[in-house]
Amino acid sequence: MEYYPLFAFGIANLPMLGWLAAAAAPVVIHLLSRRRYAEVSWAAMEYLLAAVKKQRRRLRFEQWLLLAVRTLIVVLLVLAVAEPYFQRTGPAPAGAGRIHRVLVLDGSFSMAYRPTDRSRFEQAKQLAGELVEESRRGDAFTLVLMASPPAVVIGAPAMEPGEVLGEIDRLKCTDTTIDGPATVDKVRRIVQNARRENPGLGRHEVYFLTDLQRVGWEPNKTSEPRGLSPRRTLPQDKPGGLLNTATIAVIDLGQPDAENLAVADLSTLDPVATLAADVRFEVCLKNFGRKARNNQPIELLIDRRRVARKHIDIAAGEERSVEFTYRFDTPGDHIVEVRADGDALPTDNRRFMVVPVRESLRVLCIDGRPSGEPFGGAADYLAAALSPAGDSNRQTSVQVDLAPESALIERDLGQYDCVFICNVAQFTAGEARVMDAYLGAGGNVVFFLGEAVTAQRYNRRLYDTSDDTHILPARLGEIVPAGVYHIDPMEYRHPIVRAFRGREKAGLSAVPIFRYFKLTVPKDSGAMVVLKTTQGDPLIVEASVGRGRVVLVGASADVSWTPLPLWPSFVPLVQEMLAFCAGGELRQRNVAVGEPIVASVPSAVADLSASVHCPDGRTQPVTIHTDGDCSTLSFDGTTVGGIYTVRLGEPIERAWNFAANIDTTESNLARITIDQLRRDLWPEVVLLKISEPPDLSWDKAWRGDKPHGSLVFSEQQPGMSIAQPARLHVYLLYVVLGLLLTETCLAWRYGYNTP
């Protein structure tokens, strides 16, 4: 230990000290009284002068004494209002009663930082263990792991040190960030319950063993970590908060200038991976340290095997992207991993991705008006665009099945990545249920409309349904009068049309549309408008339904309402539509740490068992929830980054891989300052800084063999404690009261208050 604020003195209400200027008031009043006086002509002057001469020194002394007392009264009163406190750590005083200690270990992944051979988390565990061992008989412990969400390991005060030590030993660092508000709330409840249910515990002490990382501890400021909801930050302690019920000690395990490089992101530029095309991976690295990292190696591993390695220079604070290309040669789930090793925090040096690779995408095109003529049916152009002759497109290899509308019932939709429905007049309730189940299991449906479509029946079956089969992202209205309309690309913001950005010559906005259904998108429905007509009417709308996606196109897929199928922009538009829909599976397979893993399972099998094998070696059973025709399993224990394997038991015997990646906002090892912690959060906190891991020991720390070790444990009285903060203002007020009485007595004695 290098720093022991064993005696902490502070001011809870610092701005009140401004009133110390009022201490000048007695002096000012005295001086003013010398300027404002009565005048008297006096006959017995000789005797007055004699009295003045004789008493001059005594009078001066009395005046100074009274002035000093009055000034001191003001100073002490202001100090009392400012609520100074004094706190010390050290041996628990004799007769202090039993102590309840809440041990809160920071389990965020920054605690995996290894300044030496031991990580911060290992140091925290050691200190916590020694704190338990050094305690006196009868002291009680509770244990909380500070993570997101925080885990209460021991919720009720445990008196048996062996059990507590065992739990501490079993603690593992998570790959999550810390949820400060939730942790503080849990600790507050633990303390409140302990006070209520264990009145014999005379004192409650909360020890936060943490690296004081700014992103977790900074109060009342919001940051926006990527991909997650806004981070909740610690609220300032309020009346009734933790400070009022317990004494808080923050044990600082952090290092001031910790260097760190993180793989901030790993993504594919191609939403669907097939054997037919190369897949491009983009890796984003960020240097959070203060030193440049030159010739930093970055490795790409596919299925645990290194397939590529690059070196880059990255300056301090810089964020750089690196692109890798790889063509898969076997279908199925492939595990992609990127590594950028070389710093003391290994957790964020790796990032994972599960890429489901297919030989080809399977698409079902349902033609509502099939024709024997080439390109006479409603879906002929679409089928050609999805799988152009020669299949030389680089994105996907698509296998298209063209079928009449009866295929909705007759075929197993689960074998298709996407179903395109073109100009089908109406749907039965059974067809709507099939589509709903298909979407719930992660399937995708694209609707093209046409003359045969009956808007009223579409709305009744797929939009205004009494049950929950709400499939369409927009309500169908009237067919607009025949005319020449054009497309408003809406700045190509939506992913489906983003490929057209900068390629205006593809002619998407120049395509004439003669007729289309007027679509109405309800507000706050979550549906997104992909394209509009120049009249302002939505033309293509998409939304998530179940675990799949639905795209609704207001125009036809044939040339009856628009020549778009004949234009060059039709093929990329349809291909992007398919990629957008089929790419949903990639998103579902890759989650952030803390997010649940959700997978669809066949609902036909009863008593199906499932388990999840976690990256840290745990295997946990998972329950399957069945809802109608759709069964899903959900696992919310993604506390560490890596690959999670979901296995279904007999008779299916199937496995999926999922990747969970850490939130790299925690990679920024910048720390909150002690002053800020005291000023904004807990003004009365005791802070112990630990920076020399070889010296990690309460025993060594307190025994006084260090220059600052002014507190020494008594051999006869083991056990250390944080003294309750001495609220000095009460004593100050007593002193003020005493001084007021003294002032009154002195003034009376000296004749200043003579009646």
Partner 1 sequence: MENSQNYLDPKVLARLEGLSLRARLIVEGYASGVHRSPFHGFSIEFAEHREYVPGDDLRYLDWKVLGRTDKYHLKQFEEETNLDCYLLLDTSESMQYKSAEAALSKLEYAKCVGAALAYLVLKQQDSVGLATFDREVRALVRPGSKASHIKQIINVMEESVGGRKTAVGPIFHELAERFTRRGIVVVLSDLFDDVESMLAGLKHFRHRRHEVVLMHVLDPAELDFPFRRTTMFRGLEELPEVLVEPGPLRKAYLDQFGAYVHRLKQGCRMHRIDYVQMRTDQSLEVALSSYLASRR
The nearer residue to partner 1, 52 or 409, going by C-beta atoms, is: 52
Write down the least CB distance from residue 68 to partner 1, Å.
16
Cβ pair 566, 552 in contact under 8 A: no
Query: Strand, helix or coil at 213?
Result: strand
Write down the least CB distance from residue 249 to partner 1, Å.
53
Q: What angle do CA 69, 73, 78 make, to 5 degrees?
A: 150
Please give the C-alpha separations between residue 78 and each of 12, 17, 688, in angstroms, as whole numbers: 12, 6, 30
Return the residue of 95, 162, 694, 751 that touches partner 1, per CB under 8 A. Answer: 751
Query: Strand, helix or coil at 292?
Result: coil
Q: Is 64 in the site for partner 1 (CB under 8 A)?
A: no
Q: Is 48 in the site for partner 1 (CB under 8 A)?
A: yes
Q: Is 59 in the site for partner 1 (CB under 8 A)?
A: yes
Write down the least CB distance from residue 722 to partner 1, Å.
51
Cβ pair 461, 426 in contact under 8 A: yes
The nearer residue to partner 1, 49 or 68, going by C-beta atoms, is: 49
Write down the least CB distance from residue 747 to partner 1, Å.
8
> Beta-carbon neighbour count of residue 717 at 10 Å?
12
The nearer residue to partner 1, 156 or 745, going by C-beta atoms, is: 745
The nearer residue to partner 1, 41 or 392, going by C-beta atoms, is: 41
The nearer residue to partner 1, 30 or 214, going by C-beta atoms, is: 30
Q: How many residues does the chain have?
A: 755
509: nearest Cα among 495, 479, 489:
489
Give the C-alpha separation, 62 to 51, whole Å: 15
Cβ pair 6, 711 in contact under 8 A: yes
The nearer residue to partner 1, 54 or 498, going by C-beta atoms, is: 54
Write down the least CB distance from residue 755 to partner 1, Å.
9
The nearer residue to partner 1, 38 or 482, going by C-beta atoms, is: 38
Q: Is 2 exposed, middle or buried (0-12, 13-18, 19+ CB in 10 A)?
A: exposed
Write down the least CB distance from residue 12 to partner 1, Å.
40
Quickly list DSSP for 734-745. Answer: HHHHHHHHHHHH
| Site stretch for partner 1 (CB under 8 A), options 47-55, 281-289, 378-386, 621-629 | 47-55
Q: Is 734 in the site for partner 1 (CB under 8 A)?
A: no
Return the residue of 21, 24, 49, 566 that touches partner 1, per CB under 8 A. Answer: 49
474: nearest Cα among 368, 534, 545, 421:
545
What token pair was written down for 401? 């099945």
Return the residue of 3, 14, 62, 275 that touches partner 1, per CB under 8 A. Answer: 62
Give the C-alpha separation, 654 to 191, whole Å: 46
CA 712 to chain centre: 42
For residues 27-46, which are near partner 1 according to CB under 8 A?
33-34, 36-46
Q: Residues binding partner 1: what is the number (CB under 8 A)?
A: 29
Write down the least CB distance from residue 58 to partner 1, Å.
8
Give the contacts of 399 (CB within 8 A, at least 6 positions apart): 360, 361, 362, 363, 387
Return the residue of 24, 25, 47, 430 that touches partner 1, per CB under 8 A. Answer: 47
The nearer residue to partner 1, 710 or 753, going by C-beta atoms, is: 753
Backbone angles phi, psi at 527, to 5 degrees: -75, 145
Give the C-alpha separation, 563 to 583, whole Å: 28
Q: Is 94 in the site for partner 1 (CB under 8 A)?
A: no
The nearer residue to partner 1, 425 or 747, going by C-beta atoms, is: 747
Write down the least CB distance from residue 43 to partner 1, Å.
4
Q: Is 52 in the site for partner 1 (CB under 8 A)?
A: yes
Q: Is 55 in the site for partner 1 (CB under 8 A)?
A: yes
Q: Is 51 in the site for partner 1 (CB under 8 A)?
A: yes
Write down the least CB distance from residue 46 to partner 1, Å.
7
638: nearest Cα among 599, 594, 590:
594
Q: Is 754 in the site for partner 1 (CB under 8 A)?
A: yes
Q: Is 744 in the site for partner 1 (CB under 8 A)?
A: no
Q: Is 753 in the site for partner 1 (CB under 8 A)?
A: yes
Give the contacts of 648 (CB within 8 A, at least 6 positions apart): 601, 608, 609, 610, 654, 655
What token pair was written down for 431? 């067809």
List residues binding partner 1 (CB under 8 A).
33-34, 36-52, 54-55, 59, 62-63, 750-754
